[in-house]
Amino acid sequence: MEMGTAMSDAQQATESEPDAKQKAKAFARSRRGPILGAIFLMATSAIGPGFITQTATFTATLGAAFAFAILVSVLIDFAVQMNIWRMITVSGKRAGDLANDAVPYSGHVLAVLIVIGGLAFNIGNIAGGGLGLNALLGIDPKIGGLLTGLLAIGIFLFKKAGRAVDLTVMVLGLGMILMTVVVAIASAPPVGEALRQTFVPDTINFATITTIVGGTVGGYITYAGAHRYLESGLTGTDHIKGVHRASMQGILVTGIMRYVLFLAILGVVASGVALDVSGQAANPAAQAFGVVLGDAGIRIFGFIFWAAALTSVIGAAYTSATFLSVFSKRLAGGWPLQLATVAFILVSLLVFALIGTAPAALLVFVGGFNGLILPIGLSIFMYIGWFRQRDVLGGYRYPKWLLIVGTIATLLSFWMGANSIGPIFAFLGMGA
């Protein structure tokens, strides 16, 4: 009897091994979507219509010297994202809750700033969607912005919203990259001069650097990928290598895209073409694409710009809504989070419909505005990394080299922000 039981147990164990392997593979596949979604949500949020417009505007005014600003933005991006992704993954908590654990109510303050900055970003993103559809299909920018916002709402109301968001940002993100590479090659930029000024610029403009940093890593963008990565369920110290790899891949994608877009615009500017960057209907990036490929270039730009806008609307709304859970745990996930995200987009649409600022000026301004918010959140996380490893991070021994580069990025962003407030508001016509 005992032998029969033993044989039965052994047989069940043998039979369960393939099942266990299949379950492990199925689990890995189910996690792959959110991880790729996190990488592309971070990347497409960082390469939104604001960044595209900023790149065209500043390349037109600074020429090859703008390459230095891109280099600084990538370095700060590295310091910020590597720290934020790691701390959020180790703790298994969203940024607002993690901040509250370290400094009571600091998460609430951070949430308010992110929501305000995210709203400013999203108004600009919706405006960018309008500009993109105008270039692609000739639709009135206001109507195009409305359609972009409504499509984003439809994606979030879809039954399997998480999967729909991941698929949307991945497909549109890859399309943006491929089309921009084509235009960059066709514009024949002075690559040697660009490489030289990447490290030894002829001129340095700190308002420009603060704006481009804010437009690519400031505000909600800082936390977009990390918050989406949390939903993979791969949290805790056992998954440090995975989050390190994912954040590096996201930074690599954004860095390449930024530089390729810059080269595409630089080729046009270096040829002697003057881009309009200040008119009410100014769309400098569209002009540059049109110079390179004519009407087809404008259509390609329209798709790129609209794709960047839609994915950024999704990223801004989702990430801003995830911060609302510090005020009510009911908003932590599920339908309440989806409805909060939809409400955020609706408010953005309403403000966009009422605001009278030129879209291009608005897109440049919101980057600078979020660049001013960036150092506040970074300060909280650097405090956690230096002084609260035992309790807030569960005793995890945080790499000092990451804390050092993160602290340098924090101090640099504070210094640049203090020297750039006036010029940043001047982008919107609100300051001197």
Confidence band, pLDDT 50/70/90 cuts, at residue 422: low
Q: What is the pLDDT of residue 222?
A: 83
* 382 pLDDT above the threshold of 90: yes
Average pLDDT, the chain: 81
How far is 201 from 365, CA to CA, in rounded Å?
24
- Residue 13 predicted with pLDDT over 80: no
Nearest to 164 by CA among 149, 177, 150, 154: 154
Residue 106 has pLDDT above 90, yes or no: yes
Q: How far is CA 278 from CA 290, 406, 421, in A?
A: 18, 35, 20
Tell which wins on pLDDT, 75 or 20: 75
Cα 177–Cα 188–Cα 295 angle in degrees, nearest 5: 65
Ramachandran region, residue 290 (left: φ > 0; alpha: ψ -120 to 50; beta: rest): alpha
Q: Is residue 430 scored above 80 in pLDDT? A: no
| Amino acid (one-letter) located at 40 | F
Supply the pLDDT for residue 190. 92
Whether the pLDDT of residue 9 is over 80: the answer is: no
Q: What pLDDT shows up at residue 424?
A: 61
In this prediction, residue 245 has a pLDDT band, given cuts at 50, 70 and 90, of confident
Residue 329: pLDDT over 70: yes
Average pLDDT of span 42-58: 79
Look up residue 294 and give its two tokens: 């004519």
pLDDT in tens, 149-194: 999 998 888 766 667 777 777 788 788 888 888 888 888 899 999 9
Q: What is the pLDDT of residue 67?
A: 92
Check pLDDT > 50 for residue 256.
Answer: yes
pTM more than 0.85: no
